[in-house]
Structure 1
Amino acid sequence: MSGARGITLVGRDAPLWLAAAALRRALGPAGVAVRAVELPAEAGAADLYPTLPAIEALHNQIGIDEAALLRNTRGAFTLGQNFVDASGAGRPSFLHSYGAHGTAIDGGDFFPHWVRARHHGLGVGLDDFSLTASAALGGRLFFPDTDSEVYGRSDYGYHLPAAAYAKSLQAIARHLGVELFEAANITVERGDGIAALLLDDGRRIESALFADLTRERLLSGGDGFEAWDTPGDRVLRALAPRPAALPAYAEIRASEGGWTGLFPSLTHIHIQHVFSHALTTDEAALKAAEKIVGLPLGGVTIRPFAAGVAAEPWGGNVIALGDAACVFDPVHGFALHGLQLAIVHLLAAYPADGAGYEARRAEYNRVLRSHFARVADFQTAHHALQRYSGAFWDAARALPVPDELTHRIDLFTARGELPPLEDESLPPDSWRALLVGHGIIPQSWRPAADRLPPEEVKAHFRKMLGFVREAVLRQPTHDACLARILQPAHD
């Protein structure tokens, strides 16, 4: 089967179908055929994808209806992740919420004014000035409107059960015209690059380009994957009963042996427990997870993971996407974010013809690795700055910190600034939530903040806090919102 102007994707589960649908939607009008070779599914009932707000843009590009997606997957919304110390170290919890903190004061950034006020005795935390953080901690969702958009960015992500998400995406991809091939295994026929794929039923698939989305890196090859140090290397996934009132955020509980994430969906709490096999056995990890969650666990699976990045995401005529390109530590739920970054940059670099092929490939590799490095820095900062107790967290603090990240943390500590870095995909408010959450209150602030008298700043703060309280009280609870979505549509 020939594919002179086509791309053939190999993978499984939601990443395969998300990539296939996005490529088909964008490239189909240009006459590019998109084929998907689906390997046996691995996603179980307990597997779930937490997403960042950016996924909504990709969903919109594909044509995914949000309400239908949540109905079909039995998923839920999320306004962020609440980090809680269950290790005994006594560290206060903090929320990494998906939205802005405060609104502009006198045309300038809010944050320096907050830092200055903290040094003069302000007892109001950063979260109190955030629409999304205040809503999440108050048991509500937050959907932006005209007034809130003027105040500041308010975003949300999703918690999407993996198997149902894959099923929904596959139906969309096939509707868009993606050609499906199923195979238990494949054989790679190599020439100058990959010449064709041989399926176990005897079919032979040729293609101009191939995309590898397999965790085994079947097309990309096992070599050329640069490992990243992480404190954990195994993840336990399980299901727990959902509470009567569904939280609008995930909770990440740090314990001596690792961390345990509680991710609400419509029907369950999906559990992720990450630990190190060098410190904990699988049996002990299960007991620890049960104790930390405090609920019965079912559907338990335990799998290894190895974080890292492909040395050359696009090599020859093979493009690595998803886990074949980059694996992040699961703690911040960046798996689909990494896939989205790769899809967006692949579409920008996709060759219309043979002209400039090598240059396009080289730029794709440079930009994508740089994007991945910025995201990995965020996780490294989390591990370096936390003060949880236990051997797992001691190992996390001992991990190397890149010089560029050290400079970023030092500059923020000195005067609350985040140096602009190329290829940054996480907003400044996420970095501020992380750094302040781990106890860094900048020692100084931009001098421009000193121009306003303290009483004028206090008046701005009072107005902001009043607006946040009133805006949040108008918002629905998570359960009320999902109940409306689940109601059948009427003509």
Structure 2
Amino acid sequence: MGAPGSIVVAGRDAALWLSACVLRAALRPAGVSVTAVELPTRLGVADVHATLPPLEALHGLLGLDEAALLRATRGAFSLGQNFADVSGATPAFFHAHGAYGAPIDNRDFFPFWLKARRLGLEVELDAFSLTAVAARQGRVLLPDEETEAFGRADYGYHLPAIAYAASLKTLAGRLGVEMHQALAVKPTLDADGEIAALDLGEGRCVGGDLFIDATGAEGVLMTALGVARESWRDHFPADRVLRAQGPRLAALPPYADIRAWARGWVGLYPSQAGTHVVQVYAGDLCADDQALEMAGRISGQALTDAVVSISDPGRRAQAWAGNCVAVGEAACAFDPVHGVELQAVQLGLVHLLSLFPVAAAFGAERAEYNATIRQVHERLRDFQSAHHVANRYAKAPFWDRARAATASDALAHKIVVFQARGEIPPSEHETFVADSWRALFSGHGLTPETHAPMIDRTTPETMKGEFRRILGFIKEQVLKQPTHDLYLESFC
């Protein structure tokens, strides 16, 4: 037996079809076949994917036309997330998909902002982000040479989940993925304890060389292989999620709104199809009927199609066991905040392709993959965890519990270094760049004790001039941009 020549992907919804499309597109030139076994969907009409910017590039590599996708899904653009406190006790802040500020004297902007704040500057960090300012004015940001020279400006999407999975399934068919449907799958193991085939019921069986488990949190294939699951329950305060649908907003904000309240948080994810409302809470602090009532009250929406599910963050001890690789929730389930689910799928596939076996014995590739993906998942978890342990919302049961949650050693180190001098110690396999960490920490009120001393060579007059230039440039550029609604109308 040589390198794997056939891959079987078993699962459902976006994790299934994104895996099938990526693997088929990448490995078709090598003659590798891809078969998808589709299980019944778990999605409801209210489900939405709030994606991070890297998905746009992956769509481009797959040949998935952006305008056609947004037409088919009735999706929308997202420039980031606005975090607000419904009590008004703490100020809102924006986590933007883009850069904050621009270099001053060829040095990083953030230390200058820290120094200026100590000297009395009252302008929040958000005001120095093109994407944050554009988002709050209801505009998209179309990069040009001027804005690209200023700094990074990215975007994600709000994609209604059922329609997005259907679009990916259509693409998989065009790419030549063989498709089967089944109510359930049962792995058949060979003498070495690896998967030989999947029993689809009704006398049907699908064999392959490499199997991908995209079956969701139950991890049907990984469970059959005896791979244990590690809980992250102590890192996060929420264990229940309510998803519901509201009407489309009259003017679509190009961002998600995350509204903290005493017993959880409510997320509003606008799309052309409607307003997707997510209520995240702890079951022992809030009953399901109260969660629905509060979701409607906080969102200001008449909600329908409400469905409650369990939130149980955690990961498999191994993402690649034997000849099976788990992706999506089969490998790792995350907290709902920040929308990292599809990012985790994408990173799992990218690293699998970089280590795709070229011979029958692939123990080294498997070990390297597991070590890498373990770090990938931990870095994503830590960013989500930071939102909880660093929160400064008023004393309340949910947020008190969040502040007391477990922080990993790596996250604790990041917090200590940031509080000391405003820097973000680099880690391998980070999804979120330093600007994101700074926006999160600063937004939650973490104030560094000092700043990098090298910026003190720049005179206060130069600093003031550069701040005025940056703010003026942002104002000028944002006013040129179309509103989100107008752009969607013309683009789609």
TM-score bracket relative to the smaller structure: over 0.9
2:391 corresponding residue in structure 1:
386
User: How far apart, in 1, do the equivalents of 2:30 and 2:202 lie?
Assistant: 31
User: How far apart, in 2, do the equivalents of 1:139 and 1:57 lie?
Assistant: 24
One-letter code of the match for 1:32?
Answer: V
Whether the aligned pair in 1 keeps the contact of 2:160 and 2:273 (CA below 8 Å) is: no
One-letter code of the match for 1:341?
Answer: L
Number of aligned positions between the proteins? 482
User: How far apart, in 1, do the equivalents of 2:392 and 2:459 lie?
Assistant: 36
Instruction: Give 1:144-293 correspondences, 5 Å limit.
Output: 144-191=143-190, 192=192, 193-215=194-216, 216-221=218-223, 223-229=227-233, 230-293=236-299
2:35 corresponding residue in structure 1:
35
User: Any idea what SS the aligned residue of 1:219 has?
Assistant: helix
Residues 314-357 of structure 1: CA deviation (Å, up to 9, x unaligned): 000110000101111001111111111101101111102225x1
User: How far apart, in 2, do the equivalents of 1:384 and 1:350 lie?
Assistant: 38
User: Any idea what SS the aligned residue of 2:337 has?
Assistant: helix
User: How far apart, in 2, do the equivalents of 1:164 and 1:201 lie?
Assistant: 29
One-letter code of the match for 2:221?
Answer: L
One-letter code of the match for 1:161?
Answer: P
User: How far apart, in 2, do the equivalents of 1:362 and 1:4 lie?
Assistant: 17
1:489 corresponding residue in structure 2:
none
User: How far apart, in 1, do the equivalents of 2:175 and 2:457 lie?
Assistant: 56
Q: TM-score, normalised by structure 2?
A: 0.96
One-letter code of the match for 2:201?
Answer: D
User: Any idea what SS the aligned residue of 2:220 has?
Assistant: coil
Cα offset for 1:298? 0.6
Counterpart check, 1:302 vs 2:331: no
User: How far apart, in 2, do the equivalents of 1:283 and 1:150 lie?
Assistant: 50
Cα offset for 1:400? 1.1
User: How far apart, in 2, do the equivalents of 1:220 and 1:134 lie?
Assistant: 45
One-letter code of the match for 1:377?
Answer: D
Whether the aligned pair in 2 keeps the contact of 1:306 and 1:327 (CA below 8 Å) is: yes
User: How far apart, in 1, do the equivalents of 2:322 and 2:71 lie?
Assistant: 41
1:136 corresponding residue in structure 2:
135
Whether the aligned pair in 2 keeps the contact of 1:89 and 1:387 (CA below 8 Å) is: no
1:363 corresponding residue in structure 2:
368
Give ranges in structure 1 of 5+ residues lacking alignment: 487-491
Cα offset for 1:387? 2.2
Counterpart check, 1:423 vs 2:429: yes
- Sequence identity (%): 51
Q: TM-score, normalised by structure 1?
A: 0.96
Give ranges in structure 2 of 5+ residues lacking alignment: none
Match for residue 407 of structure 1 among 392, 407, 413: 413
User: Any idea what SS the aligned residue of 2:253 has?
Assistant: coil
Whether the aligned pair in 2 keeps the contact of 1:71 and 1:485 (CA below 8 Å) is: no
One-letter code of the match for 1:187?
Answer: K
User: How far apart, in 2, do the equivalents of 1:425 and 1:244 lie?
Assistant: 33
Residues 68-122 of structure 1: CA deviation (Å, up to 9, x unaligned): 1100000000000111112x37011111011001111111111111111111111
User: Any idea what SS the aligned residue of 2:222 has?
Assistant: coil
Whether the aligned pair in 2 keeps the contact of 1:183 and 1:201 (CA below 8 Å) is: no
2:94 corresponding residue in structure 1:
95
Counterpart check, 1:440 vs 2:446: yes
Cα offset for 1:232? 0.9
Cα offset for 1:223? 4.6
One-letter code of the match for 2:219?
Answer: R
Once the two structures are overlaid, the 10-residue window that deviates more, 471-480 or 236-245, is 236-245
Whether the aligned pair in 1 keeps the contact of 2:79 and 2:131 (CA below 8 Å) is: yes
RMSD: 1.2
Counterpart check, 1:376 vs 2:353: no
Whether the aligned pair in 1 keeps the contact of 2:85 and 2:260 (CA below 8 Å) is: yes
User: Any idea what SS the aligned residue of 1:154 has?
Assistant: coil
Counterpart check, 1:57 vs 2:60: no
User: How far apart, in 1, do the equivalents of 2:288 and 2:131 lie?
Assistant: 37
Whether the aligned pair in 1 keeps the contact of 2:48 and 2:276 (CA below 8 Å) is: yes
User: How far apart, in 2, do the equivalents of 1:113 and 1:185 lie?
Assistant: 57
Once the two structures are overlaid, the 10-residue window that deviates more, 222-231 or 8-17, is 222-231
User: How far apart, in 2, do the equivalents of 1:458 and 1:77 lie?
Assistant: 34
One-letter code of the match for 2:232?
Answer: W
User: Any idea what SS the aligned residue of 2:455 has?
Assistant: helix
User: Any idea what SS the aligned residue of 2:53 has?
Assistant: coil
Residues 2-48 of structure 1: CA deviation (Å, up to 9, x unaligned): x9611100111111101110110001111111110000112111000
Cα offset for 1:198? 0.9
User: How far apart, in 2, do the equivalents of 1:409 and 1:187 lie?
Assistant: 45
One-letter code of the match for 2:45?
Answer: A
